[in-house]
Amino acid sequence: MDIEQARFNMIEQQIRTWDVLDMDVLELFNEIHREEFIPDAYRELSFADTRIPLGHNQTTMTPKVEARLLQAIALKGDETVLEIGTGCGYLTTLLAKSAKHVRSIDIFPDFIKTANDNIIKTGLVNIELENIDVYSLFDQSEKYDVLVLTASLPEMDNRFLRLLNNGGRMFAIIGESPAMEACVLTKQDDSNYTIESFFEIDLPALIGAEQKESFEF
């Protein structure tokens, strides 16, 4: 496989054609080599428009979704970010290139170890990884400018707003399969927010997220 040609095709044929026109975002996919984060067994799929298995029934996002996410949250360079769901660490690294500091958490310790091994190779020092459940953070006082959830929520849970500064932004995928929307919510206070929808998607639910009850009639 011609890796550089595959990378070019990913950017030009998948990402750019899905309305990702921010040149800073496009350049990130040139600069941060996705294949260096993907498990060896799936490395040939690094540039494919597919979600790649990571273990524990978890997957990556597709490249074009990662890119649309970055364009939607529009990091300013001086912001603190909390990423919920580290995975292989690729999106973590993309976020860190455009942020002051990224704290990324994951419930699976082997994901944290693998992501740490991957991130060390980049030389970035503004990333903090932690093996912890997000639901243990709601009563802590630390707040962030941007919150990124890499799994879906059946419905919005306002407790996540506690993790944001007022005016902060949260990327979340909200809904139940197959009808989910990728949204950016802007916090007004701990109970109120504005919401903008960007695209439809279907991703597994965040582990621990409460499922809405279903009824049969």
Q: Establish if 111 belongs to a structural domain.
A: yes
Q: What tokens appear for 186 in the block?
A: 């802007």
Percent of the chain with pLDDT over 90: 92
- Residue 48 CA to residue 201 CA, distance in Å, equals 17
Q: What per-residue confidence (pLDDT) applies to 210?
A: 58
What's the rounded Cα separation, in Å, for the pair 57 and 204? 9
Contact 131, 109 (CB under 8 A): yes
**Checking DSSP bridges between strand 53-55 and strand 179-187, what pairing results, if any?**
unpaired
pLDDT tens digit sequence for 94-146: 999 999 999 999 999 999 999 999 999 999 999 999 999 999 999 889 999 99
In a domain, 211, yes or no: no
Q: H/E element holding 5? A: helix 3-9
Q: Is residue 213 part of a domain?
A: no
3 state DSSP class of 109: helix
Contact 104, 92 (CB under 8 A): yes
In angstroms, rounded to a whole number, what is the distance separating the alpha carbons of residues 163 and 141?
A: 8
Cis ω for the linkage preceding 178 (within 30 of 0): yes
The CATH number for 133's domain is 3.40.50.150
Q: Is residue 129 classed as helix, strand or coil in its secondary structure? A: strand
Q: What is the pLDDT of residue 1?
A: 78
134 token code pair: 């997000």
Residue 77 belongs to domain spanning: 3-201
Q: Based on the structure, what is the number of domains in the chain?
A: 1
Contact 159, 138 (CB under 8 A): yes
Asked, for residue 217, whether it belongs to a domain, the answer is no
197 and 188 in contact (C-beta within 8 Å)?
no
- Please state the rounded mean pLDDT for residues 74-89: 98
Structure tokens at 129: 């990884």
Mean pLDDT of the chain: 95
Residue 210 lies in a domain: no
Look at residue 35 and tell me if it is in a domain.
Answer: yes
The answer to whether position 208 is within a domain reads no
Axis crossing angle, helix 63-73 with helix 23-31, rounded to the nearest 10: 140
- 50: in domain: yes
pLDDT tens-place string over residues 163-172: 999 999 999 9
Encode pLDDT of 55-70 as tens digits.
999 999 999 999 999 9
